[in-house]
A and B are shown apart, each in its own frame.
Chain A
Amino acid sequence: MKRFIFLFAALLLTLSAAAQNGKSIYQKYSDEENVSAVYISPAMFRLIGKIPDVNTGDGEVNLSPIIRSLSGMYLINSENEKINGNLRAEAERFIKSGKYEMLMEAKDSGQTVRMYTVGNEKTVEGFVMLAAEAASVTFICLDGQMPRDEFETLMAKQMAD
């Protein structure tokens, strides 16, 4: 019986670790105090794709093709110090379990920014940004089928600006 309980607990732990993703993090923290959260569903992204002509603002960087290739977005911005540690730890666990590759890391005056992507040579299937400082944590998770060329061009333009 003990063996069975151990086996069952191990199974549950494995499954809960595997189930860790942007959605589960969003669902866990989006209703907390001092947390602003945005979720955009695949259905909404399909609607965005049907908008005939989107004004991109300053016209310098056209985000439209990238945005249209997205299928989900989870954004959590927490200024709740009680949950910041857990949010950061869970996001890092999700990044490790999802085989994400680090794009960049910057540390300055106690602020750490890390960006990660996952996908293949041609497509970026996921992007995660985790920015943590003393009082706040920002977690952005984008899912989609972003052409890697376009994604990298966009990132390069952002860096050049």
Chain B
Amino acid sequence: MKTLEEIENLSLEELERNALEAPVTVPDGLERRLRQALAAREIAEAARPRPVRRLVPLAAVAAAAAAAVVLLPQRGPKDSFDDPLLAYAEVEKAFQTISDKMSAGVDLAREAGSAAELPKSILNKTQSK
């Protein structure tokens, strides 16, 4: 039997070799206890809720939080005008912008229409001769 001092002076390799050479006695009933522990673990795993089931309440909470963000009254932007007459004038101005942009489109359509008239009139003249 080695003293504690002797053991402390041993290198790691020597300790490992000594451990491998020493006779190992398996405690009584170890196999039975291991089997019982494994069986108990299996039972506990089976009783635990499945991951998908656990996700449902989490997903519900997330959905509720997101819905609350969207549905709760949010602070809107600040009105650009305090005076309704000025606001009215600005809306008229916006309609004028819309009209200008629309007119540009209509002018293009008219140009395309008059360009289409030329071959039509040539065709008509050809047919009348």
A binding-site residues for B, Cβ under 8 Å: 3-4, 7-8, 11-12, 15, 18-19, 23, 26-27, 30, 37-41, 43-45, 47-48, 50-51, 54, 56-57, 63, 66-67, 70, 73, 75, 104-106, 108, 111, 113, 115, 129, 131, 138, 140, 142, 155, 158-159, 161
Contact = CB atoms under 8 A, between A and B. Distances in A.
By DSSP majority rule, is chain B's interface helix, strand, loop, or mixed?
helix
Given A4-B59, A113-B105, A158-B102, A40 B77 contact: no
Contacts of A54: 85, 88
13 contacts: A3-B55, A15-B66, A38-B94, A40-B81, A44-B87, A51-B84, A63-B92, A105-B105, A108-B104, A129-B97, A129-B101, A158-B103, A159-B102
Contacts, number: 116
Contact of B95 (A7, A11, A63, A159): A63
User: Across chains A and B, which 8 residue pairs bring their CB atoms closest together, nearest first?
Assistant: A106-B105, A47-B84, A158-B99, A113-B101, A38-B80, A39-B77, A48-B84, A159-B106
A74 B19 CA distance: 83
Given A47-B84, A51-B88, A104 B70 contact: no
B78 interface: yes
Interface residues of B, number: 37
Contacts of B97: 129, 138, 140
Contacts of A73: 90-91, 94
Contact of A38 (B88, B90, B108): B90
B20 interface: no
A15 B66 CA distance: 7
B84 A44 contact: yes
A18 B70 contact: yes
A19 B91 CA distance: 25
A27 B105 contact: no
Interface in B47-95: 51-52, 55, 58-59, 62-63, 66-67, 69-70, 76-81, 84-85, 87-88, 90-92, 94-95
Contacts of B88: 48, 51, 54, 67
Given A12-B66, A140-B97, A37 B80 contact: yes
A66 B104 CA distance: 22
